[in-house]
């Protein structure tokens, strides 16, 4: 099929390479000219394991091309995917202006009837708005708008797209159902996981899925705080409840809060959608509030351990991306910590295998002034540090040499924002350890405070 994908970000690029890999002819459009220039050379603007190999093989196979001109790329497309951003507006609403602008441009440039697919996460009713724009302005051409939300996880996006749990297609139109089924069939060959529903239900399903996952995380973070009150290790509780098949082991890890380009903005968008209907979603309000608290936990914990005034203190950070496997730092917990530390006058030495450049761009002034140093090795950033904070649980941080770390650091304090380490092992190596909802060794912490 002749496909045009608009937006070459995490979703658009994965969509484009995966459809090309299945033998379709795909043109990917982005308004960012630098992105297109890099992509044409087979260089991915995003970090996603395996994406460059697929990108290069499909470019070489002439199934995948790139363009910065929608006017040039869209006219012949049978199916157009809209995969542009829907960031939070200042009032929390999902800003759908990029989608509507693309719809307007499509109405001017499509030269034959097309199926226009909204892949971006957007409030209920957005696909209908796109349909209305196309209906009003396309001279006599009948375009069909479908909602097909994306469920990929950054870091495992290719696998998610190639082997999806389900594919949600929101349309009541028979022709669109047939074409979309044909398009996705290669991805669900062993058993059909394509689900048809109304456009509005498809849009709502995406939000409901993210809200539910965020709720699981915030629930577990609240349990961690509760466990703290009773000196109970939340990790033991996690394993205990996860064994119940009705609960399961996924998404019940306590930590320093969820981030990324989806959960925070989608929860905010839902709260805003509720407000526009004159209703409330108290559970989601609590999910959001707990997440804010959780993101502040690392800084508060540092203050509890090292004193309120952190001026002159050096803090090492391991992991800056919002989760392992991606370079995405949007709404990442590391940023809340970095901003609090910068404001208080502390010095930061941070390492991330992939996301450091994005952080450097974001805090260019602090980098230039030497308050934020980005190291190129994880042990190197420990030199003379007063604390180490594990924020993102990249695999390479899983089994560190605690004895070596102890010799590098000025003060032996380890804050484990992902409950990655065995507290006793860390304490045996001479560290004061603090995890999320894990009983800390209080005497060690107070000894540390005195040493400071
Ligand atoms: N990132 C994820 O893990 C993920 C997962 C599922 C759904 N989503 C949703 O998918 C959508 C896209 O997310 P993303 O992370 O890929 O965004 P992104 O910011 O990485 O990419 C969006 C791209 O669209 C381009 N763009 C914007 N306006 C354009 C225009 N008029 N013409 C051409 N290109 C244009 C931008 O330059 C950018 O490259 C969002 O609604 C998001 O919520 C994201």
Average pLDDT over residues 256-262: 96
Cβ neighbors of 442 (< 8 A, separation 6 or more) are: none
pLDDT digits (tens, 9 = 90+) for 409-447: 999 999 999 999 999 999 999 999 999 999 865 555 554
Q: Is 101 in the pocket of ligand 1 (CB under 6 A)?
A: yes
Nearest to 260 by CA among 79, 1, 6, 10: 10
| Cα-only R_g, the chain | 24
Cβ neighbors of 275 (< 8 A, separation 6 or more) are: none
pLDDT digits (tens, 9 = 90+) for 133-154: 999 975 689 999 999 999 999 9
Cβ neighbors of 35 (< 8 A, separation 6 or more) are: 8, 45
Q: Extract the tokens encoding 309.
A: 């005034």
Please provide residue 82's backbone torsions phi and psi, each rounded to the nearest 5 degrees: -100, 115
Nearest to 338 by CA among 276, 389, 396: 389
Q: Extract the tokens encoding 160.
A: 């998610």
Q: Extract the tokens encoding 131.
A: 């349909």
Nearest CA, atom 1, ligand 1: 10
Average pLDDT over residues 5-28: 98
Tell me, yes or no, if the two domains 2-197 and 198-452 fold the same way.
yes
Q: Extract the tokens encoding 60.
A: 């070489």
In the reported structure, the alpha carbon of residue 11 is separated from the centroid of ligand 1 by a whole-number distance in angstroms of: 6
Q: Please tell me the predicted confidence (pLDDT) of residue 345.
A: 97
Average pLDDT over residues 209-234: 97
Q: Extract the tokens encoding 64.
A: 């995948």
DSSP for 391-447 reads: -S--GGGSS--HHHHHHH-SS-EEEETT--S-HHHHHHTT-EEEETTS---HHHHHH
Q: How far apart are CA 440 and CA 424, in angstroms?
A: 10
Average pLDDT over residues 11-29: 98
Nearest atom in ligand 1 to the alpha carbon of residue 102 is 31
Q: Where are the domains of the chain?
A: 2-197, 198-452
Q: Is 9 in the pocket of ligand 1 (CB under 6 A)?
A: yes
Architecture (CATH level 2) of domain 198-452: 3-Layer(aba) Sandwich (3.40)
Nearest CA, atom 20, ligand 1: 9
pLDDT digits (tens, 9 = 90+) for 59-104: 999 999 999 999 999 998 999 999 999 999 999 999 999 999 999 9
Q: Please tell me the predicted confidence (pLDDT) of residue 137.
A: 78
Q: How far apart are CA 276 and CA 322, in angstroms?
A: 30
DSSP H/E element including 2: strand 2-6
Q: Please tell me the predicted confidence (pLDDT) of residue 439.
A: 82
Tell me how far the alpha carbon of residue 223 is from its chain's centroid. Answer: 23
Q: Are 30 and 98 in contact, with CB atoms under 8 Å apart?
A: no
DSSP for 167-206 reads: EEEE---HHHHHHHHHHHGGGG-SS--EEEE-HHHHHHHH
Q: Is 120 in the pocket of ligand 1 (CB under 6 A)?
A: yes
Q: How far apart are CA 397 and CA 405, in angstroms?
A: 12
Nearest to 7 by CA among 75, 121, 84: 84
In the reported structure, the alpha carbon of residue 8 is separated from the centroid of ligand 1 by a whole-number distance in angstroms of: 7
Which of these CATH numbers, 3.90.79.10, 3.30.70.420, 1.20.120.330, 3.40.50.720, describes 2-197?
A: 3.40.50.720
Q: How far apart are CA 267 and CA 265, in angstroms?
A: 6
Helix 126-137 with 97-109: angle, nearest 10 deg: 30
pLDDT digits (tens, 9 = 90+) for 158-191: 999 999 999 999 999 999 999 999 999 999 998 8
Q: Please tell me the predicted confidence (pLDDT) of residue 441.
A: 59
Nearest atom in ligand 1 to the alpha carbon of residue 261 is 1
Q: Are 381 and 310 in contact, with CB atoms under 8 Å apart?
A: no
Average pLDDT over residues 22-41: 97
Average pLDDT over residues 294-311: 97
Q: Extract the tokens encoding 142.
A: 């009948």
> DSSP alpha helices (H): ranges in 25-172?
33-40, 51-60, 70-73, 97-109, 126-137, 157-162
In the reported structure, the alpha carbon of residue 4 is separated from the centroid of ligand 1 by a whole-number distance in angstroms of: 14
Q: Is 11 in the pocket of ligand 1 (CB under 6 A)?
A: yes
Looking at every residue in the chain, the average pLDDT score rounds to 95
Active site residues: 262
Give me the sign of the Cα torsion angle 273, 276, 282, 287: positive
Confidence of residue 450 (pLDDT cuts 50, 70, 90): very low
Q: What percent of the chain has pLDDT over 90?
A: 94
Q: Counting beta carbons within 10 angstroms of the beta carbon of residue 126, is it exposed (0 to 12), middle (13 to 18) or buried (19 or more)? A: buried
Q: Is 123 in the pocket of ligand 1 (CB under 6 A)?
A: no
Q: What angle do CA 296, 334, 439 make, to 5 degrees?
A: 50
Q: Is 121 in the pocket of ligand 1 (CB under 6 A)?
A: yes
Q: Extract the tokens encoding 88.
A: 């939070």
């Amino acid at each position: 099929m002749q496909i045009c994908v608009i937006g070459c970000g995490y979703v658009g690029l994965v969509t484009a390479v995966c459809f090309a890999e299945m033998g379709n002819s795909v043109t990917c459009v982005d308004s960012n000219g630098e992105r297109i220039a890099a992509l044409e050379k087979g260089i991915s603007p995003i970090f996603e394991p395996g994406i460059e190999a697929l990108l290069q093989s499909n470019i070489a196979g002439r199934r995948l091309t790139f363009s910065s001109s929608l006017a040039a790329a869209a006219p012949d497309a049978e199916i157009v995917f809209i995969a542009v951003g829907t960031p939070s507006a200042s009032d929390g609403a999902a800003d759908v202006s990029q989608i509507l602008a693309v719809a307007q441009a499509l109405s001017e440039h499509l030269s034959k009837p097309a199926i226009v697919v909204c892949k971006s996460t957007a409030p209920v009713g957005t696909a209908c708005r796109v349909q209305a724009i196309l209906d009003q302005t396309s001279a006599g051409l009948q375009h069909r708008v479908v909602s097909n939300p994306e469920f990929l996880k950054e870091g495992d996006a290719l696998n998610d797209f190639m082997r999806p749990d389900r594919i949600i297609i929101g349309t009541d139109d028979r022709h669109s159902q047939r074409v979309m089924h044909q398009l996705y069939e290669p991805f669900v060959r062993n058993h059909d996981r394509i689900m048809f529903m109304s456009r509005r239900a498809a849009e709502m399903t995406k939000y409901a899925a993210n809200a539910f996952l965020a709720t699981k995380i915030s629930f577990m973070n609240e349990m961690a705080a509760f466990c703290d009150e009773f000196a109970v290790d939340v990790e033991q509780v996690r394993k205990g409840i996860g064994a119940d098949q009705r609960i399961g082991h996924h998404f019940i890890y306590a930590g320093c809060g969820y981030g990324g380009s989806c959960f925070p903005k989608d929860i905010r968008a839902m709260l805003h959608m509720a407000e526009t209907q004159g209703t409330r979603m108290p559970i989601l309000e609590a999910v959001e509030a707990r997440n804010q608290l959780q993101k502040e936990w690392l800084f508060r914990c540092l203050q509890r351990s090292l004193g309120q005034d952190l001026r002159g203190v050096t803090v090492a950070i391991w992991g800056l991306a919002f989760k392992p496997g991606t370079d995405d730092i949007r709404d990442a917990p590391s940023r809340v910590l970095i901003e609090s530390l910068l404001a208080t006058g502390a010095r930061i030495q941070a390492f991330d295998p992939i996301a450091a450049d994005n952080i450097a761009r974001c805090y260019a002034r602090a980098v230039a002034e030497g308050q934020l140093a980005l190291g190129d090795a994880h042990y190197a950033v420990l030199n003379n540090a007063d604390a180490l904070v594990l924020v993102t649980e990249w695999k390479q941080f899983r089994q560190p040499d605690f004895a070596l770390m102890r010799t590098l650091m000025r003060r032996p304090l380890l804050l484990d924002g992902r409950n990655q380490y065995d507290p006793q092992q860390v304490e045996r190596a001479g560290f004061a350890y603090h995890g999320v909802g894990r009983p800390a060794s209080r005497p060690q912490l107070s000894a540390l405070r005195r040493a400071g």
